[in-house]
Structure 1
Amino acid sequence: MPDPSNNSFIPKRGPVTRSTRGTFSRRVYVFTLISYVFLFATLLAVGGMYFYTQHLKNQLDAEIVAFNKETNSFSKENMQKVLTFNSRLKQASSRLDKSISVTSIFKALEAATINTVEIEDLTLARVADEKYILTASINTDSFDSTIFQRGEYNRNQTIDQVTISGLQKTVVSEGNDPKQSIVSFTAVLDIPVSSVPYRPVPQTSSSIIIQNPDIQSIESASTEGNTGAAAVVNDETL
């Protein structure tokens, strides 16, 4: 016999499923909260930047006002004094930079002079801030020594240029001594200022050690002095 429930006019219902509407609304709420947080953070950052910019602008205006005030209070006479002093400092610095060591010049001349050469006269002149011209009247024993001497001057790193002039040979004789030849010439040496700069040598402080004095020797010396003085007095008295 057929089931009477199958002939019912009421439609059948399927299995009941849970609704996901609550979870979806919850997710939307969390996203909205995060958006509000970012929005408020952005507004606070913009407000902070605005107030910080106004603070910097106020400080800049205050510094400009103070600078203008100090500028107006500074007189032209004082400014001229400062400019004059600055110019003198620059001149002094330039002169110190162009200072040379005369000792270095003579050391270079001594190192480049051979044994058979005798310098009779020597002059040193400065040409602006570029170079020094050293003129030397030299005597030697032969022309070979003259050529060798010129080569030594050319090989010296301090000397820039060498000019030999007035070359002449003289024969002299003294008493019974045989005749001797003397070759004389004038050497002109160009020495750049940059080759002999002045470099100050730092002075090291030296410690002084004071030892204890010998008291006995001092006392004996004073005793002998007193005895001698007494003897002198006795002699004068007699």
Structure 2
Amino acid sequence: MKDDIAMTDRAFWTEGEDRPSRWLVTCDHATNRVPDWVGGGTLGIAAADMARHIAYDVGAAGLASALARLMAAPAVFSDFSRLVIDPNRGEDDPTLLMRLYDGTVIPANKAADAAERARRLDRLHRPYHRALAGLAGRHEARCICAIHSFTPQLRGRPPRPWQVGILYSHKDARLGPAMVAACRDEGWITGENQPYDGHLDGDSIDRHALAHGRPNLLIEVRNDLIAAPEGQEAWAARLAPVISRVLEDARL
């Protein structure tokens, strides 16, 4: 179900709110949209940069939607660029409004003051997290599956060889290591807490899963594999039974 906020103000959308699965699929970085009220709809960077991984998780929204459908799970998606304000950061995180990302300076964020930060929190970040919290609370045994994507190579850095990365916190290793093993059994080149560390205080998993004792997975897929719809559908079909099996085997 889509929320009824005007498109220029919309912070999120949802799909399949009444689906019965324990799983809730989340997509923190679903779009590269810049609302009209932020810099007139631009952050002052080139269109090519807005199409890069710095602005959103390429392919993640399509993957999350297909995966949620296959698992009969509800899903929630942010509807603003991570460069406007990053929903996968706590409100006090210094990278909430990025001023420089993978070699690109973000002019609209360099000039953003405390009042602008508060405005973006109130109109985008907080509504998204309220929606996520609401869906998470609708099942007494909720599990959260966060879907992200990563770029094959950061500027000036070595190529990233992984097809899939499974991230998990040291505070909850109930599903993460088993999911790593299951992905490797499928023959996928799988990173364990790669290409990023699996714990960040105040991020979405910390806030909506760890703080409530909910089983969780954070899955990163290399974005060249899911840039097109056919790749999104293919990886959703591969991941869905593995995710279900890992949870079933854990007996949580």
TM-score, normalising length from structure 2? Answer: 0.20
Between 1 and 2, higher relative CO (CA 8 Å, sep ≥ 6) is seen in 2
Query: Counting helix residues as a fraction of each chain, which structure ranks higher?
Result: 1
Q: TM-score of the superposition, structure 1-length normalised?
A: 0.21
